[in-house]
Amino acid sequence: MDAMDDSTLPRALADMHGERQVLVAAIGALREGDLDRARPGGWTVGRILAHVIDSEQAYVRLLAQMTGRRAPETPAAEAGTAAEAIAQLARTRAAVHATIDGIDGATLYRLVRFGHEEYSPLSVLENITAHDREHRAQIAQVLASPPAAPGARDGAPAVDVDVRAAAAADVPRLTEIYNHYVVHTPITFDLEPFSIEQRMAWFAQHGESGPHRLLVAVRAGEVVGYAGTGQFRAKRAYDTTVETTIYCAPGATGLGIGRRLYAALFEALRGEDVCMAVAGITLPNEASCALHERFGFTRAGVLREVGRKFGRYWDVAWYERRLA
């Protein structure tokens, strides 16, 4: 079956084009300063647009893999101005069309297995359309919100929590929290839940002094989150660099608990022989990116498609913060 004889591809392309035109019109209507606007705890409009560009570049690579073609080269995502964003979106969209130009019906519908799931080029095109629609709505929500007051994004948490050093008795609860993210999210690249015994070995790597710490947040007698630092690499020259980790229990996110944990963690590290803290964040994760940026981390770079989970590849952004 040839795509020319089937209305499915033209319809998918028309839907994709229509959503992109609406998104571009919204970008073109941005006023000075709008790229820096954000809802409390969320991404700026500029960051949202950079993510749209990043994601479409990832879709191009996926389509190229499915169709056996070479993915066109596109520049790194930047959205310093609305005009730059529109120009980059035009380039990534041209790359999408290049990877599917002349595609036949058999290839359009052919399912390709990634992990435990299967995708077709058609489903990727539909995802691109949905992605534009989702982030256009996200931008509209940001612009409809009143501008945040100075310092509002660094405000006090909405709930009262106590932060203390983790104890061995906390490990069952910490294991429960972590396993939720293992099973249900790409935030961690672990694929199988951990036993309490396995996490006890992880707990033992932390101390009440030194560079490797583990803190918990307790609300109404229950641990609702934890944050810590651990070894970045095994080679000894890396000993003055630590990798951070932070998780809040389901139902305890968005309450400022992460801010309390990180504030206490970096205060605990003050005076320790630690030069750099680094953190890897699976994209997209605007809440985690915003939290790390609030605490002085800057994005060092993005590793493309370095993890496969839930049948697709994920990018990881690496953040860094100097502590000494």
The pLDDT assigned to 324 comes to 83
Domain ranges across the chain: 3-144, 156-322
Match domain 156-322 to its CATH number in 3.40.630.30, 3.50.50.60, 3.40.640.10, 3.10.20.740: 3.40.630.30
Tell me how far apart the alpha carbons of residues 172 and 162 are, in angstroms, rounded to a whole number: 19
Q: What is the pLDDT along the chain (324 residues), one digit of tens a residue?
A: 344 457 888 999 999 999 999 999 999 998 888 888 876 556 788 888 887 888 788 888 888 888 888 887 776 656 678 888 899 899 999 999 999 998 888 888 888 876 555 778 998 899 889 888 888 888 888 888 765 444 444 444 457 899 999 999 999 999 999 999 999 999 999 999 999 999 999 999 999 999 999 999 999 889 999 999 999 999 999 999 999 999 999 888 888 899 999 999 999 999 999 999 999 999 989 889 999 999 999 999 999 999 999 988 999 999 999 998
| Global pTM exceeds 0.75 | no
In angstroms, the CA 290 to CA 323 distance is 19
User: Contacts by 197-204 with C-beta closer than 8 Å and gap 24+?
Assistant: 199/171, 199/174, 199/175, 200/168, 200/171, 203/166, 203/168, 203/171, 203/174
Joined tokens for residue 68 = 């056996």
Does 3.40.50.300 match the CATH number of domain 3-144? no
